Structure 1
Amino acid sequence: MAKPEEERDEPLTPAGRLFLSPEMNQIIHCLIGVKNPINIDSIKSEISNSVMIKHPRFSSLMVRDGHGREHWRKTHIDIDRHIIIIDEPIGDSSAHDEESLNDYVSDLAVSSPLNTDKPLWEVHLLRPYNCILFRIHHALGDGISLMSMLLACCRRADDPDRRPTIESVGASKERGERERRWNRVVERGVKAVWLTVVFVVEFVMRSLWVRDRRTAVSGGAGVELWPRKLATAKFLLDDMKAVKNAVADATINDVLFGVISSGLSRYLDIRSPKALQDGLQLTGLAMVNLRKQPGLQDLSKLMDGNSSVQWGNKFGMMLLPIYYHQGGADPLQYVERSKAMIDRKKLSLEAHFSYKIGNFVMSCFGAKLASWLNYRIVCNTTFTISNVIGPREEITVVGNPVTYMRAITMHMMSYAGRADMQIMVAKDIIPDPEVVAKCFEDALLDMKQAAEKAAASKS
């Protein structure tokens, strides 16, 4: 005899429940630009036959039982309800394509929640712009899971029979780093314990009452509901690698955070010149992938319930302080300071602690308290950031070459030698995010020039 439908429902994970709470209701937006006009029938056919539809998270409704507990319940997929077709230009037809797309996404981010009477995802086909927008609720998975899913539906442009390369370019380096850490386990172990204690105490204090000093980029109560603006900072990975090579043992993440530190200092000099004390701390909240394997994942392993690499939200949070410095500093110093700070953070277990304590609070005390703690730490910091390594080679979607890939928030995503950072802000606080983007771009260019001069002086 078949079990009642309620007995076949799958309960949400603690992280999934957190992301569905009113205070933390988060939707991931990913823009994919394509070279040729969008064929709607081909897109529908590809999605209908894709692994995405077979995944239980993408084919289930979020339902609540009589006790208010959330569950996933399998349902029939009506593909037409998930495909949103935009045939006309958005807003002012004279606006630049990128500006129109950014306005469209920023409006969706605060005014259009996903309907719970269907699985929590949508695909918007913006035909005038040759652009595909994926809207996926964070409760379905984190950036690593969702990007691995997306790339499983794509093919390499140079070899249509092969999927994109999804191994992190830093995987071998990370393995080597782990071996070197093992060789110095005692020395580094003591330091790791000490740093973990220090950073965990700071994390708890930041969750409860410690906050950044107010500046021109600080938010206010209820800022998560304020109208948004979106801008794009564009980088070349070769430029970032040139800067990385100029600083001993630096990584692309070190360069990224150095760019953010320098760029925000530049922007604050524009908005409030000489009004801030040199060395003022601004704190970022970074999302850290905690899977044992770095980078994107083999989708078959993610979907295998017996695999140690599992689907879902498997990330911790880490506080990353940067410091305001007035103009005139050596550009590479921003990278050197960022590297020193990030090295200490990576040695600690701060991200693992935040993940474990979040699950504990969610499981034992419920979504209300967990959401309040997460909301507090977001309010007490200045910005949030994450980044995902995309495919190294150029790819296609339904045979249509992809020109760019972008995920939304303050988020950098690489693709085929390029890296775009999407910067989403409350427009009443930062009315000119395109200036912020330009500050970031100029910061990297200045760092590249400094790296070239340093290399020339050594030769």
Structure 2
Amino acid sequence: MERHIGERKETRANDPSSSSLSLCMGSSAADKFSDEPITPIGGFFLQPQMDQIIHCTMGFKNPIDIAAIKSHLKTSLLLSHPRFSSLMVRGPRGLKKWQRTSHVDVDHHVIVVHNPVTASSNFDHETAVNAYLADLSTSSGLSADKPLWEFHLLMAHNCGVFRIHHALGDGASLMSLFSESFRGAEEEEKLPALGSVGKKKNRVNGEKGWWVLLIGFVGMVWFSLIFVVEFALRSLWVCDIKTEISGGDGVELWPRKLATARFKLQDMKLVKKAVPNATINDVLVGVVSAGLSRYLDQRTPNGLPEGLRITGMAMVNLREQHRLQEQSDLMKSNSGLSWRNKFGTVLLPIYYQKSSGTDPLGYLKRAKVTMDRKKQSLEAFLSYKIGCILMTYLGAEIATWLLYRAVSNTNFVISNMLGPQEEIAVGGNPVTYLRVNTSSVPQALTMHMVSYAERADMQISVAKDIIPDPEFLAKCFEEALVDMKEAAH
């Protein structure tokens, strides 16, 4: 496998010069707004090795009206939000912090692309947009001379791409902000209904209930301890056996390709009913496990050992309420829901099984067992706290090296974000689809699924010299869900 040789890209969010600061805000304006230090996790995403930009793609129903979109942005909650109206600067001791600016020039943030390089008669709209996103994944980042976000309008493909630095917030924060800034398409004053996760059932009281609690506590301690040990080993040297989807150190610099797997939420809900107490996340992990097994069957003619472990990382929202909150709730610093990066990661093992002759629902059953153990442990919470402690007490360089090693020694990243259940609109233009992906990471495969208006689209980003055919991989995932649906009937 040929590896691209090149120097590591420079940090995308470079510190603005004093002259650029003076253009945005005078000394009196600077004194007027209080500064806020960047959180440890936010600082992690500003390091060169893990510099992360979130790309949120919106497809529009009608032709793009640039003036209407700019007007909407100027009056939306987006521009009044502190994170979207602050510059990332360095303080006297070199510590990074957010500094409010007195004015945000929308014209400097809205990038109109009339004829993207990917616009060609050989591309359909989806392929062209994915090619544009793939280019953004490894291209130059966001300038710190302005707040760390942009909105690219691809006029030829009737879609917009929000580029938002991960240091500004996590997926739950950003989705809440979008949902309140871009009201429902049919009723501007109505906040779109947001997906939610059902509440956990209370344990049974009495003697049996105490035994259940005791067993649950022992399980929590055991599975949490296993995670701490495994995470430490992954940060040093432990990794899986190399397969056709394995990435590693430096792969974040390699060229990318994107493809989209499309699912119906109704199909996923039907499949989850086939296994008692299963969730949509269980179904997603089962689909990924089945799809990767199907893909590896095609890419590995000599076959792989049955039950081969392939370890990924899954993102977990750590807020007390797993539903998407209104923006007013997220901004309360003492509510536990405050605006910041508040998510953990879990090491997610899936196991290769030959796709022929395997019960499609077997993948879901195995995924549920794995996910139940993750829920029982404190793995997501501990990963968040460990990251904060490392950044605070060991410094950014050492902490980033350790966390980067852990990421490099896994094979994929996966996340599932609950989006609006009803149509949203930007500048009065209804949004037909909503998709998310991020800039490059050391893994050769990243998968981000967002549910929106009864559909779920998963953006699949790959290092194209390792996984040259992401369209086929997307088809494997789609066919895996179809097989599960048929088996569930």
Aligned match of 1:381 in 378, 401, 410?
A: 410
Residue aligned with 2:369, SS: helix
> Which residue of the other structure, out of 99, 103, 107, is the alignment partner of 1:80?
107
Q: What is the aligned counterpart of 1:31 among 57, 64, 81? A: 57
Q: Which residue of 1 aligns with 2:229?
A: 201
Once superposed, which parts of structure 1, at least 4 consecutive aligned residues long, lie more than 4 Å away?
1-7, 177-183
Does residue 1:437 correspond to 2:474, yes or no? yes
Structure 2 Cα separation of the partners of residues 118 and 7 of structure 1:
16
Q: CA deviation at 1:113?
A: 0.4
Residue from 187, 193, 199 that aligns with 1:174: 199
Q: CA deviation at 1:175?
A: 3.4
Q: Residues of 2 paired with 1:66 and 1:22: CA distance?
A: 21
Q: 2:311 aligns with which of 261, 264, 283?
A: 283
- Name the one with the larger helix percent: 1
Q: Is 1:14 paired with 2:40?
A: yes
| Cα root mean square deviation, aligned | 2.0
2:293 corresponds to 1:265: yes
Residue in structure 2 matched with residue 457 of structure 1 by the alignment: none
- 2:92 corresponds to 1:63: no
Give 1:395 shift: 2.4
- Please give the per-residue CA displacement for 1:369-422, whole angstroms capped at 9, x wherever unaligned: 121122111110000111101111222222211110000141000011110000
2:463 aligns to what?
426
Q: What CA distance in whole angstroms lies between the structure 1 residues aligned with 2:263 and 2:159? A: 20
Structural mapping, 1:238-277, within 5 Å: 238-277=266-305
1:40 matched to 2:66: yes
Partner of 1:144: 172
Which of 46, 49, 52 lines up with 2:75 in the alignment?
49
**Alpha carbons 2:56, 2:436 under 8 Å: kept:** yes
Match of 1:120 among 148, 155, 175: 148
SS in 1 for 2:45: helix
Letter in 2 for 1:358: G
Residues of 2 paired with 1:125 and 1:52: CA distance? 17
SS in 2 for 1:175: coil
2:30–2:100: 8 Å Cα contact kept in structure 1? no
2:414 partner letter: I
User: What CA distance in whole angstroms lies between the structure 1 residues aligned with 2:59 and 2:204?
Assistant: 40
Given that 2:315 and 2:345 are in contact with CA atoms closer than 8 Å, whether structure 1 keeps it comes out as yes
Structure 1 distance, partners of 2:336, 2:352, is 41
Query: Take 1:357 and 1:7, find their aligned partners in 2: how far apart are those partners?
Result: 32
Letter of the 1:451 partner, please give it. Answer: A
Residue 486 (structure 2) aligns with: 449
Partners of 1:23 and 1:91 in 2: CA distance: 28
Instruction: Indicate if the aligned counterparts of 2:248 and 2:409 stay in contact, CA closer than 8 A.
Output: no
Q: Secondary structure at the match of 2:200?
A: helix
Which residues of 2 match residues 304-315 of structure 1 at below 5 A? Answer: 304-315=332-343
Residue 105 (structure 1) aligned with residue 133 (structure 2): yes
Residue 173 of structure 2 corresponds to residue 161 of structure 1: no
What's the CA shift for 1:148?
0.5
**Which residue of 2 is the match for residue 360 of structure 1?**
389
Q: In structure 1, how many angstroms separate the alpha carbons of the residues matched to 2:471 and 2:329?
A: 40
Distance 1:21 1:268, change over 3 A: same
Cα offset, 1:126, TM superposition: 1.0
Change in Cα spacing, 1:415 to 1:68, as seen in structure 2 (3 Å) is: same
TM-superposed CA distance for 1:2, in Å, is 7.7
Encode CA deviations 1:34-69: one digit per residue, 9 max, x unaligned. 100111111111111111111111111101124321
Distance 2:53 2:59 in 1: 19
**Which of 340, 343, 355 is the equivalent residue of 2:372?**
343
How much does 1:331 deviate? 0.4
Tell me the equivalent position of 2:361.
332
Scaled by the length of structure 2, the TM-score of the pair is 0.88
The worse-fitting range, judged by mean Cα deviation, of 420-429 and 387-396 is 387-396
* 1:340-396 Cα distance to aligned partner (Å, 9 max, x none): 010011000011111111101101111111211221111100001111011112222
Question: For residues 109 and 274 of structure 1, do their structure 2 counterparts lie closer, same or farther at Cα, with a shift above 3 Å needed?
Answer: same
Equivalent position of 1:302 in the other structure = 330
Alignment of 1:231 onto 2:259? yes
Q: Is the 8 A contact 2:264 2:456 kept in 1?
A: yes
Q: Does 1:185 align with 2:213?
A: yes
Query: Contact 2:33–2:99 (CA<8 Å) still a contact in 1?
Result: no
Q: For residue 410 of structure 1, what is the aligned residue in structure 2?
A: 447
Shift of the alpha carbon at 1:174? 2.8
Q: Which amino acid aligns with 2:288?
A: I
Aligned residue number for residue 397 of structure 1: 426
- Tell me the CA shift for residue 153 of structure 1: 1.2
Deviations 1:216-268 (A, max 9, x none): 11114310011100000000111111110111110000000000000001111
- In structure 2, relative to structure 1, the CA distance for the partners of 1:198 and 1:306 (3 Å cut) is closer
Give the C-alpha shift of residue 196 in structure 1: 1.2
Change beyond 3 A, Cα 1:29–1:164: same
| Aligned residue identity for 1:312 | R
Percent of pairs identical after alignment?
Answer: 57
Letter in 1 for 2:201: G
1:220 & 1:306 partners in 2: Cα distance? 39
Gaps in structure 1 of 5+ consecutive residues: 453-459
Given residue 202 of structure 1, which amino acid in structure 2 is its aligned partner? Answer: E
